[in-house]
Amino acid sequence: MAAMMRRSVRCLRFFGEAQRLEEHWRLWSRETNAVASKASMEALSMEMKQLAEDTRPSEEQEAAKDALFRQVEQAGKESLDGCTAELFGSAGTKQWMPGSDLDICLLAPDVTTSASQVRSLRKVARALRQTGASHNIQPRFHAQMPILRWTPRRPDRPGSIACDISVGNVLAVANTRLMASYLDLDDRVPLLLRAIKVQIVPIAQGMDVLPWPFQHCHQPLALPRCPKDLMSAELSLFFDNLDASGLAAKKVTIIWEGTAGAGRQYMAAASFLQKLGMTVSLVGPPDVHVLAKHYELAYVCTSPSTHELLSRPSVVAATTANDYDLFEKAWALESEPYTAANIHVICQAIKGFEPELILTSTRPLHRVLAVGNALTIPVLCLALQEPTDVLGDCFEPAWATMKASKLASVLSSELQQWGSSFEQALRISSPAAHFWPSAAQVKALAGKLPRFPYFTLYNFEQLDRKELDFFSYDPDGFCEQPETLPYNLSKRKAKKQKPSNVFALGCFQWDIEEEAYLPVLYDRVEAQKLEEFILHASENLRVNDAELVYVSFGPVICKDVKFMTRLVLRACKIVNLKAIVDTSCGMSLEQIKGDGDEETLKEYCEKNVFFVHKVPAAKFLPRCRVCLHDGNSAMLRQTLQASVPSIMVPIFGQQFQNAQRMMSHGNCALLGDMKGLVPSTLATGLENFMNDKKLFRTIQHKIAVSAQRMTYMSLLAEHRLVHLLQKTWTETLEGNNFLKDMDDLKADDGGAFRCCSVKGRRVQP
C-alpha cells in the first residue's frame, strides 16, 4: 500500500509538472499571438549551451568509458564466436554524461531466445571475472531483456563507471541509430535533449520516458521525419558490423522455385550478398524478375510463373479439395511440358554465370545437383522460407517423404525422360547417368529439413513473460555445428555425417516500405485515386478512414475467381463496409457479370470498394483496421509488420497450419475453410470482429510484439548466411574438401553413388 501511495505521489508530481510545461508551451506555440523577444531567446540559447558545456564529460572520463567498452568487447569476443559490441542509449547518441551508466549490447550470431541470451551472458561473466577487474557482476536474468549489471566496488572512485551488458538487444541499438540520425539533422537538437535530460528527467522520478514523446507530439513538427536513406540497408545493424572478409568478388548463383513470397526472400538474400561485394545471379520463375531488374541483379527466368500454374483447372481442383496428393499429381502434370526447357535454361545460366557456388531451394535440388556434379560446382541447399511447417519453397517436393528406393525409381525415371535434354544443354560427351544424382545424394543434401523458425505468440494473460519462443530444429546451433543435420550414407558407416550442407537460416524480410515507392510497382495515378477514396467522407459509409478492410488472397484459387469475388463483395455489401481489394488473384467487377445482383453490387462498389492493382500494400495497409486474407505466408508477414489484425479464411495446405497456429494463441480470427463459406457467414464474422474492441486491441498488441521479434530473426538470417558462406569457402572450396567428399561418397556407396568423376578440373562445354 505504501509503495502504491508513493507511486501515486510521483505520478501527481510528474503530471503537475507536465501541465506547467504545457502552459509554457502554449505561450510559444503558433496557436497564440505571443511572440518571444529576440533577447529572451538568445538568453535561453546561451543558458542551454552553458548547460551542455557543464555536463560534458572530461577527457579522463571519456577515456575511462572507452576503456570499459573495450574491456567488455574483448570479453565478448573471447566468449562468443563472431561477437561484436555496440553502445546504445545515451552513449550511442553521444549524450552520455558523467555519472550515467554505460549500456553495451553484444551482437552474436544465433542468439535468438532468452535462454540463449542467458547462456551467452554467463560466458561473458566468466570471462570478466578472469580479468580480475574490481567490479561486482550482478546477473539480472529475469528482466524482460536479460542483462549483466557490472558495477564498481568503489563507486566514489574517480573514473568508476557502471554498465549494463545485454546480448542480442537489437531493437535498442536500432532505436539508438535512429535517435542519432535525428540528432545529426540539427545542431540545436542535442542541446534541447540535454536540457530535457538534466531538467525534466529528475522531476519524473522513474518515469523518464514520458518527457520525450511530450516534446514530439506537438504540431507542426520542427524536424522532418527521418528520411529513408538514414536508416537504409547500408546502415543495417548486421550489415555494417558484419565481418564479411573473404567473400568480396566471389561468384554465387541462386536457383529457386516457388511463389512470389519465397522469391522476394531470395531476392532480399541476393541483394544483401551483392552489397557485401559478391557477384550474385539468380535463376527462377518470372514472378519477381521486375524486382531483380530494379536491384540490378542478373536474373534468368524459367517458365511458367508459379501463379500461372496455380491457376490451372486441375491444380485449382486439388487446392479447393485441400488434397495434397492430388495437388502433387496435378502440379507434376502441369509442369511436365516445361521441365526440359527449364533444365536447358538452368544449364545455360550456370555455364554463363560461372559461379563458384550454387545456392538452391529444395524443389529443384535434384536437377541442380546434376548440373553441379557435371560442372564440379558445390551445391548448397538453403531453406529461406516464410514461417511454416511445410517443407520446400512453395509446396513440399514429392520426393521429400519418399523412401530411398522409391526416390531412386523416380530419379531413374526422370533420367530416362530428361537425360538427353541434360546432355544437350551442357554439351557433354559423357552420358547423363554419370552425373545424375542418386537417392543417397538427394537425401544427403536435403537431409531432414527442420521446422522453419516460427514465433509462438503471447497469450494475453502471459504478456509479462520474458521471451518469445521459437520452433526450430536447433535454434542455437545453425552455424556452430555444420553437422547438425546428420544422415547415414550406408549401414556400415552409420555415424558418418558429411557433407551436411542444409542450414535453416531463418526468414529474410524484404522491406515492404521501400517497395511501396519503387517505380516498377508503384502507379502514381492509381495511388492518388486510392488516397481520394480513403479520405472520401460519405454518409453511406459505415466506417471512417481508419477502419478500412483490406482484402488480399494469394495465388491459390478456391473453386474459381468468380466464387471468391462474389463472396467478398456480397459480404461487404451486407454490412456496408468500405474495402480495398487486391486484384493480384484476378478479382474484379468483371467476375460478377451476368449475376442477378450485378447492378446493385456495381453501384455499391463505386462508392465503397477500391480495386488496387499497382500500389503495394505497404502504402495503405497500416491505415486499414483489419485484413481479410487466406493465411498465405507473405500476407501474414506483411500484416504482422504493419500490426494489422487478420481474419483468415484458408484454402489449402500451409494456410491452414498458419491459421491454426495464429488462432491457437488468440492472434487472429479464423472463419473456417473458404470453400464452405457463404456471404452471410463472412459478413457476420467481419462485423463481430470489428465491433469487439477488446479483442481487437488484444490481438493488435500481440502481433506488434511478434513483428518485433520477426524483424530480429530477419537480421539474424543475414548474419547466419555470411557465417555459413565463409565456412563453405574456407572448408569446402579453398580447403578442397568438396572433391574429397565426392570421392568419399563414391567409396561409401560401393560405386553405386553417382557423382562427378572429374577431379580438380571443370568439365569444358
What is the residue whose three cell numbers read 527449364? 342
Distance between CA atoms of 720 and 729, rounded to whole angstroms? 14
- Asked whether the bond before 57 is cis by omega within 30 degrees of 0, the reply is no
Contact 322, 294 (CB under 8 A): no
Tell me what pLDDT residue 192 has: 81
Question: CB neighbours (10 Å) of residue 586?
Answer: 17
Tell how strand 470-471 and strand 624-629 pair up: unpaired
Q: pLDDT above 90 covers what percent of the chain? A: 8
Residue 50 burial class via C-beta count within 10 angstroms: exposed 0-12, middle 13-18, buried 19 and up: exposed
Q: Domain-by-domain residue ranges, the chain?
A: 59-185, 251-508+724-748, 521-691
Q: What average pLDDT does this structure show over 461-466? A: 30
What is the residue whose three cell numbers read 541470451? 117
Three cell numbers at 716?
A: 539474424
Three cell numbers at 433?
A: 547417368
If you average pLDDT over each of 258-272, 351-365, 528-542, which comes out highest? 351-365
Cα 582 to Cα 50, 622, 648: the distances in Å are 57, 15, 15
If you average pLDDT over each of 185-199, 413-427, 490-504, which comes out highest? 413-427
Contact 541, 606 (CB under 8 A): no
Distance between CA atoms of 686 and 671, rounded to whole angstroms? 9
Q: Which residue has the higher pLDDT, 338 or 716?
A: 338
How confident is the prediction for the chain on average, in pLDDT? 72
Q: Is the pLDDT of residue 89 over 70?
A: yes
Contact 305, 285 (CB under 8 A): yes
Distance between CA atoms of 452 and 469, rounded to whole angstroms? 13
The total number of residues written for the chain in this structure: 765
Task: Give SS3 for 763.
Answer: coil
Question: Which residues does 760 contact at the CB level (< 8 Å), separation at least 6?
Answer: 739
Tell me what pLDDT residue 215 has: 47
The type of residue at 454 is Y
Tell me what pLDDT residue 717 has: 66
Cα 209 to Cα 184, 186, 206, 222, 465: the distances in Å are 21, 22, 8, 20, 22
Contact 501, 532 (CB under 8 A): no
Residues 224-233: tens digit of each pLDDT: 555 444 333 3
Task: Give SS3 for 379.
Answer: strand
Q: Which residue has the higher pLDDT, 30 or 532?
A: 532
Contact 466, 451 (CB under 8 A): no
Tell me what pLDDT residue 26 has: 46
Tell how strand 357-360 and strand 379-383 pair up: parallel
Top CATH class, 521-691:
alpha beta
Cα 686 to Cα 481, 559, 562: the distances in Å are 48, 22, 20
Q: What average pLDDT does this structure show over 81-105? A: 86
Q: Which of 94-108, 324-338, 428-442 has the weakest average pLDDT?
A: 428-442
Global pTM exceeds 0.75: no
Tell me what pLDDT residue 3 has: 46
251-508+724-748 has which fold? Rossmann fold (3.40.50)
Residue 339 burial class via C-beta count within 10 angstroms: exposed 0-12, middle 13-18, buried 19 and up: middle
Tell me what pLDDT residue 581 has: 92
Which residue from 460, 306, 281, 292 is spatially nearest to 377, judged by alpha carbons? 281
The type of residue at 437 is P
Distance between CA atoms of 417 and 411, rounded to whole angstroms? 10
Contact 192, 48 (CB under 8 A): yes
At 223, the pLDDT band (50, 70, 90 cuts) reads low
Q: What average pLDDT does this structure show over 447-454? A: 42
Residues 530-543: tens digit of each pLDDT: 877 877 633 344 44
Distance between CA atoms of 396 and 305, rounded to whole angstroms? 18
Q: What are phi and psi of 104, to 5 degrees?
A: -125, 130
CA angle 132, 133, 139 (to 5 degrees): 100
**What is the CB-side half-sphere exposure of residue 298 using CA atoms within 13 A?**
17
Question: Which residues does 128 contact at the CB level (< 8 Å), separation at least 6?
Answer: 71, 72, 75, 135, 137, 148, 150
Distance between CA atoms of 424 and 308, rounded to whole angstroms? 28
Three cell numbers at 67?
A: 576503456
Question: Which residues does 303 contact at the CB level (< 8 Å), separation at least 6?
Answer: 285, 286, 338, 341, 342, 345
Which residue from 96, 44, 34, 20 is spatially nearest to 65, judged by alpha carbons? 96
Question: CB neighbours (10 Å) of residue 337?
Answer: 10
- As a CATH number, domain 59-185 is 3.30.460.10
Matching CATH topology for 251-508+724-748 and 521-691? yes
Residues 642-696: tens digit of each pLDDT: 778 889 999 987 788 778 777 766 677 888 889 899 999 999 988 888 888 778 7
Helix (H) or strand (E) holding 66: helix 59-79
Contact 300, 283 (CB under 8 A): yes
Q: What average pLDDT does this structure show over 44-73? A: 86
Distance between CA atoms of 662 and 643, rounded to whole angstroms? 14
- Asked whether the bond before 202 is cis by omega within 30 degrees of 0, the reply is no
Which residue from 370, 378, 379 is spatially nearest to 426, judged by alpha carbons? 370
Three cell numbers at 684?
A: 457476420
Task: Give SS3 for 560.
Answer: coil
Q: What are phi and psi of 362, to 5 degrees?
A: -75, -45
Question: CB neighbours (10 Å) of residue 41?
Answer: 11
